[in-house]
Homo-oligomer: A and B are copies of this chain.
Amino acid sequence: MASVRIALLGCGVVGSEVARLLDENADELANRVGARLELAGVAVRRLGRDRTTSGVDPSLFTTDAAGLAARDDVDVVVEVIGGLEPARGLIHTAMEHGSSVVTANKALLAEDAVSLHTAAEKHGVDLYYEAAVAGAIPLLRPLRESMAGDRVKRVLGIVNGTTNYILDQMDSAGSSFTEALEEAQALGYAEADPTADVEGYDAAAKAAILAGIAFHSPVGSGDVHREGISEVTAADVASAKAMGAVVKLLAICELSEDGNSVGVRVHPAMLPRTHPLAGVRGAYNAVFVEAEAAGQLMFYGPGAGGAPTASAVLGDVVTAARNRLGASLGPRGSWYADRPPRSMGDTVTRYHISLDVTDRPGVLAAVAAVFAQHGVSIETVRQKVEGPDDAELVIVTHRATDEALTATVEGLNDLDTVRDVLSVMRVEGE
Q: Is the CB of B297 within 8 A of A136?
A: yes
Enumerate chain B residues within 8 angstroms of A130, measured Cβ to Cβ.
146
Q: Mark A123-144, 1 if CB is under 8 A from B, else 0.
A: 0000000100000111001100
Find residues 102-141 in chain A having any chain B CB closer than 8 Å to their own CB: 130, 136-138, 141
Find residues 249-300 in chain A having any chain B CB closer than 8 Å to their own CB: 276, 279, 286, 291-300
Q: Is the CB of B147 within 8 A of A138?
A: yes
Enumerate chain B residues within 8 angstroms of A313, measured Cβ to Cβ.
149
Enumerate chain B residues within 8 angstroms of A291, measured Cβ to Cβ.
136, 311
Q: Is the CB of B295 within 8 A of A136?
A: yes
Find residues 292-338 in chain A having any chain B CB closer than 8 Å to their own CB: 292-302, 305, 307-308, 310-319, 322-323, 326-329, 331, 334, 336-337
User: Which residue of B has the minimal Cβ distance to A147?
Assistant: B315
Copies in the complex: 2
Per a CB cutoff under 8 Å, which of B28, B149, B299 touches A299? B299
User: Which residue of B has the minimal Cβ distance to A332?
Assistant: B34
Q: Is the CB of B136 within 8 A of A293?
A: yes
A52 touches B (CB below 8 Å): no
Given A216-B31, A301-B297, A334-B32, also A315-B145 (CB < 8 A): yes
Enumerate chain B residues within 8 angstroms of A318, measured Cβ to Cβ.
145, 148-149
User: Which residue of B has the minimal Cβ distance to A29?
Assistant: B149
A73 touches B (CB below 8 Å): no
A25 touches B (CB below 8 Å): yes
The 3 closest A-B pairs by CB, nearest first: A149-B314, A328-B328, A138-B146
